[in-house]
Amino acid sequence: MSYITTKDGTQIYYKDWGTGQPIVFHHGWPLSADDWDAQMLFFLSHGYRVIAHDRRGHGRSTQTSDGNEMDTYAADVAALAQHLDLKNAVHIGHSTGGGEVARYVAKYGKGRVAKAVLIGAVPPIMLKTAAYPGGLPMEVFDGFRQALAANRAQFFLDVPSGPFYGFNRPGAKVSEGSIRNWWRQGMMGGAKNHYECIKAFSETDFTEDLKAIDVPVLVMHGEDDQIVPIENSAKLSVKLLKHGTLKTYPGFPHGMCTTHPEVINPDLLAFIKA
């Protein structure tokens, strides 16, 4: 197993497969690098070097008491990129990982990043604010915290069984394996880390990060995303990016990389090759 140790002693687990142009995958909350299996195998077969890490407090990385916020998450990625000497890399982030990509590329990406992709991503900000009145009220995220603190194991069954993959929609083809894999990944991480990450993914304002990014960015979003509603995320983010392109998917859920890899993977490949 491969780890780097950050300045504060945190061990960050990562996978690094293949050779060629590097593609770095950033997972969502409360998951791990394993959430990218379908993408990593696909791009590996197309001649790319694929890298994915477990965010601190998630998966196989250290369950730290501190640093469960976006600036530290981005700094951890910068440490990994420096350790692996990544150049001309494409950074792809899903959900919370999309926020991590925005913060990392804006702050550390100069000279190292070729392109970026935000998939079902939380920027510019999930929380309802004066600047973003279409956001979700604090009560939604307080509900997440209450459910996690009360019974994390049950909460981590309820989310993938319902809105995350759209399995609560009429006629949905439910994958028991996907539900169990989501639960498995979630329960590997730390309860304190997951609890504090809710604030990180909901209250961090990425407006200035998006404005600062000067590489091409593809913004991909399911139009039936019940976790990160498209109107206050992707449709606003693309307006803030200098070189942003928006691609939306009718009927697709938040976890569309898992439910529809046969659609998402070729679109990612086309963007990377363009």
Check if 54 is active-site: no
Catalytic annotation on 225?
Answer: yes
Residues 6+ apart with CB under 8 A from 268: 39, 43, 92, 117, 218, 220
58 is catalytic: no
Q: Active site residue: 61, 95, 202, 233, which one?
A: 95
CA distance 227 to 39: 21
Check 53, 91, 221, 254 and give the catalytic one: 254
DSSP 8-state assignment for residue 136: B
As a dihedral over the C-alpha atoms of residue 146, residue 255, residue 125, residue 242, rounded to 10 degrees, the angle is: 170
Please identify which of the residues 91, 202, 225, 233 carries the catalytic annotation: 225
User: Who's near 196: CB < 8 A, 6+ residues apart?
Assistant: 57, 68, 69
Could you tell me the CA-to-CA distances from 163 to 45, 168, 253 in Å, in that order? 31, 6, 8
Residues labelled as active-site residues? 95, 225, 254
